[in-house]
């Protein structure tokens, strides 16, 4: 008969430490990935809003024969919705028959 004797591990703390490092690395990668997705979502929202305002301005020109005098006009008559706490909109038109310059930038959050 064969007798097998198992030896006990002498340093179980190394295994625990390795597991803790592996878990910490996984959590870090998860957090970095989540932050990256959130940043891309913000960029997409900004691009979508910019295109929506430009399309509404062109639609106004096609329907009314002139570009809108302001972004507020687009909000009131063409269903554009802008969260003023998140975005700053710069709308500069100097003639009713020339496409206005539309710039939208994210608002910076103030430190609380």
Confidence of residue 1 (pLDDT cuts 50, 70, 90): confident
The predicted model scores a pTM of 0.68
For the chain, percent of residues with pLDDT exceeding 90: 45
pLDDT in tens, 17-71: 888 889 999 998 888 888 888 888 889 999 999 999 999 999 999 999 999 999 9
Residue 84, pLDDT above cutoff 60: yes
Residue 7 lies in a domain: no
Which residues, 6+ apart, have CB-to-CB distance to 74 below 8 Å? 53, 56, 57, 60, 68, 80
Residue 77 lies in a domain: yes
Q: Assign residue 97 a region: left if phi > 0, alpha if psi is -120 to 50, beta otherwise?
A: alpha
**Domain range for 77:** 14-106
First to last CA, the chain: 75
Residue 98 lies in a domain: yes
Residue 40 lies in a domain: yes
Residue 92 lies in a domain: yes
Q: Are 88 and 107 in contact (CB under 8 A)?
A: yes
Residue 73 lies in a domain: yes
Q: What is the number of other CB atoms lying within 10 angstroms of the CB of residue 57?
A: 22
Residue 72 lies in a domain: yes
Residue 60 lies in a domain: yes
Split into its structural domains, the chain has a count of 1
């Amino acid at each position: 008969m064969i007798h097998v004797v198992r030896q006990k591990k002498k340093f179980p703390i190394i295994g625990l430490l390795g597991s803790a490092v592996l878990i910490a690395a996984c959590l870090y990668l998860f957090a970095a990935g989540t932050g990256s997705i959130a940043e891309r979502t913000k960029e997409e929202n900004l691009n979508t809003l910019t295109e929506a305002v430009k399309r509404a301005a062109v639609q106004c020109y096609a329907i009314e024969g002139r570009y809108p005098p302001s972004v507020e006009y687009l909000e009131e008559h063409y269903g554009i919705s802008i969260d003023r706490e998140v975005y700053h909109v710069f709308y500069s038109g100097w003639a009713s028959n020339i496409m206005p310059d539309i710039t939208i930038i994210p608002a910076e959050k103030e430190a609380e």
